[in-house]
Structure 1
Amino acid sequence: MEEQRIAPRHRVLKAGTVEFGGDALPCTVRNLSATGAALEINSPLWFPDRFVLAIASEGLRKPCHIVWRKEKRIGIAFDEAPR
């Protein structure tokens, strides 16, 4: 399978938070790049296709959207900041 990512992702194991509509769900960040990430979500709750990913240990808060879903994992792409 040919790699289609714009930026290489690096394997990580970091605590993150999916934030939307005043709610926050914990997640585990499994890999991370400048353009996106793969997250593991252990909550059975629904959440929207667009949200903010926060990773406190990185000082990161980025709006993003879901690119793919597979069981408890999702792939996200970070939204570009408006210019």
Structure 2
Amino acid sequence: MTANILARSEQTQIPVFVVQIDIINGALREAALAATANDALDITGNALRQLVDIARASSGEKSPYFGYLTCPATGDDAEVRHD
């Protein structure tokens, strides 16, 4: 993955579309190399959920998936509680 170099010092954030493209590219790459079709579907479904979260965050709507993290090692979802 190439690093994005900001043109001006006041540009402190990467545009959302760059993050979305990175999520899509990563999911396609992982799904293509998945051991089974179900694993590939799980990978693409997780990517779609991440894209929905980004879209809802940018619109101010709360995501029903907020509070869940995917473990990079196992791919399992774990609920994060804020008590």
Indicate the TM-score class for this superposition, using the shorter chain for normalisation. Answer: under 0.3
Task: Name which structure has the greater RCO, CA cutoff 8 Å, separation 6+.
Answer: 1
The structure having more radius of gyration, on CA atoms, is 2
Give the structure-2-normalised TM-score: 0.24
